[in-house]
A = this chain, B = another copy of it.
Amino acid sequence: MKIGILAAKTGFSIQTIRFYERKSLLAAPERTASNYRSYSEDALKQLLFIKQCRALDMTIEEIKLVLETRANPENSCENVNTTIDKHVDDIEHRIAELKLLQETLISIRSTCDHDKKVKECGVLHQLDSIAEACSSNTDNESQLIC
């Protein structure tokens, strides 16, 4: 199967498939006489597996590790689980951060109703006054937003 078909079947772009090959996430396939890549069904399965991992936001390095672990059925799957656990944790932190940011944004946004001029804009004044406060406070480390 040529790369265009594989791309259509997996939903990856042709460039991304070649990129994964360069990154050793996907083995270099056979070539035709005219140097076109020729993929097996296994390559398709591998790419779909990779797709699941990417959908779970794993990095390429992490996926490489999972693929290596998976290659030997007698291996312990411990580091696969560790990878998943780490992600669950990371995502939890990220959600917390985003929620805080969301609140800050909404709070700032509430200080300007609509279509005012710059000099009257509560949003800009907020941003300025926080900056001012940080400027006069030399102890940057202890502040949330500075």
Contacts and interface: CB of A to CB of B under 8 A. Distances in A.
The main secondary structure of chain A at its interface with chain B is helix
A108 interface: yes
Interface residues of A, number: 63
A138 B72 CA distance: 30
A6 to B, nearest CB: 12
A140 B11 contact: yes
Contact of A118 (B55, B76, B114, B124): B76
Copies of this chain, how many? Answer: 2
Interface of A: 9, 11, 44-45, 48-49, 51-53, 55-57, 66, 69-70, 72-78, 80-81, 84-85, 87-88, 91-92, 94-95, 98-99, 101-102, 104-106, 108-109, 112, 114-121, 123-124, 127-128, 130-132, 134-135, 138, 140, 145-146
B87 A95 contact: no
A36 B88 CA distance: 47
B119 A74 contact: yes
Contacts of A101: 55-57, 91
Contacts of A127: 49, 52-53, 66
